[in-house]
Amino acid sequence: MPDTLPFATRFGSNAGQPVSRRDGVAKVTGTATFAADNHPEGMLHAVYVPATIARGRVTHLDVAAARAHPGVVEVITPANRPLLEGDPEAKHFMFAFRFEALQDDTVRYANQPIALVLAETLEAATEGARLLDPRYEAESPRVGLDGNTPYTVEVGAFGRRGQTVHGDVAAGHAAAVQSLDVTYETPAQYHNAMETHAVVAQWQGDQVTLDMPNQAIVMSRGAYGYYFGIPAENVLIRSPYLGGGFGSKAIPNGPTVLAILAARMTGRPVKLMLRRDQMFGPVGHRGATRQRLRIGIDAEGRMTVLDHESLATTSTFDDFVESAANASQGLYAAGALRSAHSGVRVDTGTPGPMRAPGEASGSAALECAMDEMAERAGLDPLEFRLRNYAETEPGTGLPYSSKALRECYLRGAERFGWAKRPLQPRQMRDEDGMLVGWGMGTALFHAPMFQAQARAVLRPDGTGLVETAAADMGQGAWTALAQIAADSLGLPLDKVEFRSGSSDLPDGGVAGGSGHTATAGGALHAAGRDAIDRLAQIATADPASPLFGAGNKGVTARDGRLFVTDDDSRSESYAEIIARAGGSEVIGTGSAARPPEQAAKHAMYSHGAVFAEVKVDPDLYQMRVTRLVGAFAAGRIINPKLAESQLMGGMIWGISFALHEEARFDARTGRIMNADFAGYHIPVNADVSGLEVITVHEDDPHVNALGIKGVGEIGIVGTVGAIGNAIWHATGHRIRRFPIRIEDLLRAERG
Amino acid sequence: MTPFDYVRPASLADAIAAWEPGAAYLGGGTNLVDLMKTGALRPGKLIDLTRLPGLDRIEALANGDTRIGALVRNADLAHDADFARAFPMVAEALLSGASGQLRNAATVGGNLLQRTRCAYFQDPHSPCNRRDPGAGCAARSGDNGGLAILGWSAACIATNPSDFCVALAAMDAVVEVEGPDGARQISFADFHLLPGETPERETALHPGEVIVAIRLPAASAGFRAHSRYLKLRDRTSYAFALVSAAAALRFEGGKIAGARLALGAVAARPWRVAEAEALMIGQTPDRALFDTAADVALNGAAPSGDNGHKIALAHRTAARALALAAEGTPAQMPAFPASVFGGHAHA
């Protein structure tokens, strides 16, 4: 199908068109400049030395040997590390995590930086790092969910509630005619964007330019300013492209701060790019969880209680506990609801937000438990969910701003052919004798908005320029946001220049939480409208204009012209209006944020339903996801092509979570033994087939001015459970630990 | 990485003359260079063989044998139509290994010398008797779910990761080598060594010897109609085997006249047991027979750690591979080579 509809058939709208990503050609031809492609004159290469113990202290580094290596320029250790003006242990803003920047010789986790080597070449820096040959005084590491004594979490990650109770949970358990009590586990996972973390830092006096992939460009400017004792405006972050972020690139980290410090110390530009194995430590991860779910139902299959407890790993020195149990809030109409979190402190880096934090792990357990409860009740899993469909938010009673989940269920089920599913497991085989199983899961993800500003300019030639420091992690911000901006200016997409990805632009907010299009897009929309209002003011006050006297509200912007509303015979082009007014560009500004009173009136979520088919060899237990159908309702879709790609990417991550991803720790050393892409599996193309996405339209007048929710994370949610449930349906074996592996099914078979 | 000398000899004789203790021959570099980057291996000199003339040919010898030059790339061999017709199971094994990019770079000679993927061998900070004799074995009480169930020793429980080698073992390949003391041939069964007390000795190569070719006997092509490679793995492509099996059968009058079975990822070398093959001769193929053959092939298997499941998986994989071989070689290379999901189009 053609990539864009002809302008004439668009009815003036850029939003809603499946425009191909505007940065696509640059990326596939290698002309897009990623952070590590910057090589300023005189640049030094930095390599950080990762700790090879998980707990203890560094007792010796052979600095002399490293310094003696040809090409090595500087070795930074706690002994000579210049002072940082800001404390790396401080929690000075929302995304501040405590990190190691050589403040002392303590080792808190494996792969923590314990020194930084600077050299004229990457090879020399790498060898210098090896020659440091660290010696340690090691202590026994605390590893895994049983590695330490759990503690109760009152406030979870990003201020989310640690303990939530709605209704009488004890009464809910007592009233149940059937009950389920099951425990699921999910492993530690590491973000591992294709582009590892990188920075090229250049100082000029007390100003620093940072080429780095960043999901929170303007916010990070202040954070780095804090560590180096300079005002935020002295920090310029350039982040035009990110090779993936997944939550990891919103947060300052030790290696990056050390590289910036090294540039200041040496007076030369410094580049640091993490090796793949170094991604497993200082830049966040998804903590492991153990989740207990207790569900009770009445005689009609209605839930009397949904009681979800989650234990998750965090580090010994900071707090980020996956809010997994909160996945049970907001979704099913249980008589009583409880989400309770506890944490366990282990010797790893601090976890952080990883695509669908909380929900991905929580939904994996919840949706499997729902399937188990349906099985016990003798109900079809979809029917069981429909019986517990929440018309208002469970617990709070708030109306949903919009909720087309029922339509997602029905359209997804129809497309998948769910009605033909036998209730019992192990009933279906394909022509080759493979066991076939079908499973489903519900997807829920909050629809937040953050704060953003934007600027829109109408130029004398009638074209537009819009600016906001948004971040394109590959999701398509360069394209979807430009579509919104073009509409707000009443211009076709090719008449609008979009500047983004740099901290000297208005704050585009954080690319995270599935709220970037709504937030940055909202600001762009407001800025464009402001510019058009200003232009209309000029035109309607100008007796020479055909629009004279129409009044601001009586003017419509379309295709580079202002029209008197409902009178196409009276119109004038932007260029004509500006020319007569003296030829100065017209500048509009805008901002976006959700008013708190708006948030208090409605529960706001994206929804979805995922249906999975798996095939399993009945003897060898080789597994394969052969079909995935996801139907999602996420408000207004700005670019269906990019949104569907995002949702597909999420669903592929769901395959990854269900069947592949796991960091494997050596219990003796606390080190991750599969810290590369040969050992840390994610799906390859051959693992993905039969992937379909359906988007269900929602008009949501409450969520924000544009009616946009988010699609960045919800694709994972529901998919993991759907696959786990399909494997049960194929084999009759419930595997309550992810990822599900061949040996798990073999062990289940053999009891 | 540690600085090293790099030489690119013009002839095989020059290459061998350039060898010295601590030097390493470089083929496709897909394994060696990775290990140099992590610091697990630090050769003082790399002798780049890839420009040597004459070692990149696939030849049909006068006696009917097939001779594969050591510098033939994995992908080129797998996609050579004549070769794939004669040795479809070898081609299938090749195509089930690594990724397209790696197969384009890797050489068949280098494949025979790829190192174990035991995480503790690859990690220069873990004790490993194979990498550092006498250092101890971190794998014995570590993350060892994928390691050996056969032929392992207290000193080492590593497995050989190659798919290609499993197929070559089943096909009675011969390795042609040249070294400071001249040329010789090593039968495949003797090529890889079990660890015993000296896990650092991985192959029968003498110091300085170079693999120049791999020869497949004409008789082995007689299995072409009934041969399969089957590989269990945690993802469909670009994953090492959990266990694998190369199976080949030859029929006369409905009875098995020749049988080959080699298991992969179970030991430090491809695992072949003569008795397991012999017991199938003269028999009619059926499930019970193949189960018995698998039993015998796995005789003596024992967990070396938390990997007891591999015994059952290897058993089932061996029996299935034999059953697939009995069904017949697919008319076309399956879309997912060596997978149970590869498709069942028969010749």
pLDDT tens digits, one per residue of B227-243? 999 999 999 999 999 99
pLDDT tens digits, one per residue of A120-159? 999 999 999 999 999 999 999 999 999 999 999 998 878 8
- Chain B closest CA to A123's CA: distance in Å? 6
**Domain A392-448+600-749 fold:** Aldehyde Oxidoreductase; domain 4 (3.30.365)
CB contact under 8 A, A126 and B1: yes
Is the sign of the CA dihedral A139, A140, A141, A146 positive or negative? Answer: negative
B280 inside domain: yes
Compare CB distances from A619 to B1, B120, B320 and report the shortest one's residue: B320
Q: What is the mean pLDDT of residues A650-673?
A: 98
Residue B134 sits at the chain A interface (C-beta within 8 Å): no
User: What pLDDT score does B344 carry?
Assistant: 47
Respond yes or no: is residue A89 known to be catalytic: no
How deeply is A596 buried, as exposed, middle or buried, from its count of CB atoms within 10 A (0-12, 13-18, 19+)?
exposed
CB contact under 8 A, A52 and B234: no
pLDDT at position A3 over 60: no
Give CA–CA dist B1/A667, Å, rounded: 29
User: What pLDDT score does A495 carry?
Assistant: 96
Q: What is the mean pLDDT of residues B106-126?
A: 97
Residue A433 sits at the chain B interface (C-beta within 8 Å): no
CATH architecture assignment, domain A7-32+450-593: 2-Layer Sandwich (3.30)
For the record, the structure tokens of B241 come out as: 């085997």
DSSP, collapsed to helix, strand or coil, labels residue A54 as coil
CB contact under 8 A, B309 and A746: yes
pLDDT tens digits, one per residue of A541-554? 999 999 999 876 78
User: What pLDDT score does B2 carry?
Assistant: 86
Give CA–CA dist A278/B37, Å, rounded: 13
What distance, in Å, lies between the first and last C-alpha atoms of chain A?
A: 52
| Mean of per-residue pLDDT scores for chain B | 96
State the complex-level ipTM. 0.97
User: What pLDDT score does A137 carry?
Assistant: 98
Q: Which of A372, A613, A661, A713 is catalytic?
A: A713
The amino acid sitting at A429 is R
Characterise A717 by phi-psi region: left (phi > 0), alpha (psi -120 to 50), beta (else).
Answer: beta
pLDDT tens digits, one per residue of A590-632? 999 999 898 899 999 999 999 999 999 999 999 999 999 999 9
Domain count, chain B: 2
Residues of A whose CB is below 8 A from B97: none
User: What pLDDT score does A727 carry?
Assistant: 98
- Chain A closest CA to B307's CA: distance in Å? 9
CB contact under 8 A, A620 and B236: no
Structural domain of B233: 222-327
A324: closest CA among A282, A297, A359, A299?
A359
Work out how many CB contacts closer than 8 A connect A with B.
87
CB contact under 8 A, A686 and B235: yes
**CB-CB contact of A358 with A289 (8 Å):** no
User: What pLDDT score does A12 carry?
Assistant: 56
For the record, the structure tokens of B243 come out as: 């266990």
B39 inside domain: yes
Residue B100 sits at the chain A interface (C-beta within 8 Å): no
- Domain segments of chain A: what residues? 7-32+450-593, 392-448+600-749
B17 inside domain: yes
Give CA–CA dist A399/A390, Å, rounded: 10
Chain B residue whose CA is closest to A70: B3
Residues 6+ apart with CB under 8 A from A240: A32, A33, A472, A500, A501, A502
| Chain Cα centroid distance, residue A653 | 11
Residues of A whose CB is below 8 A from B125: 52, 671
Is the sign of the CA dihedral A86, A92, A94, A98 positive or negative? Answer: positive
Q: What element of type H or E holds A127?
A: helix A122-131
B window 29-68, beta carbon within 8 A of A: 38-39
Output the CA angle A680-A182-A750, nearest 5 degrees. Answer: 65
- Chain B closest CA to A392's CA: distance in Å? 41
Q: What is the mean pLDDT of residues B315-334?
A: 97
Output the CA angle B35-B37-B43, nearest 5 degrees. Answer: 65
pLDDT at position A371 over 80: yes
CB contact under 8 A, A746 and B339: no
| Chain Cα centroid distance, residue A541 | 47
- Chain A closest CA to B237's CA: distance in Å? 6
Chain A residue whose CA is closest to B143: A666
CB contact under 8 A, A746 and B238: no
Work out the pLDDT band at A94, boundaries 50, 70, 90. confident
CATH code of residue B260: 3.30.390.50
B88 inside domain: no
CB contact under 8 A, B143 and A659: no
**CB-CB contact of A724 with A741 (8 Å):** no
CB contact under 8 A, B238 and A743: no
Residues of B whose CB is below 8 A from A674: 119, 143
Q: Is there a shared CATH topology between the A7-32+450-593 domain and the A392-448+600-749 domain?
A: yes
- Chain B closest CA to A43's CA: distance in Å? 20
Give CA–CA dist A174/A169, Å, rounded: 9
User: What pLDDT score does A404 carry?
Assistant: 98
Residue B1 sits at the chain A interface (C-beta within 8 Å): yes
Residue A292 sits at the chain B interface (C-beta within 8 Å): no
Residue A276 sits at the chain B interface (C-beta within 8 Å): no
- Chain B closest CA to A619's CA: distance in Å? 7
Give CA–CA dist A407/B172, Å, rounded: 61
| Mean of per-residue pLDDT scores for chain A | 96
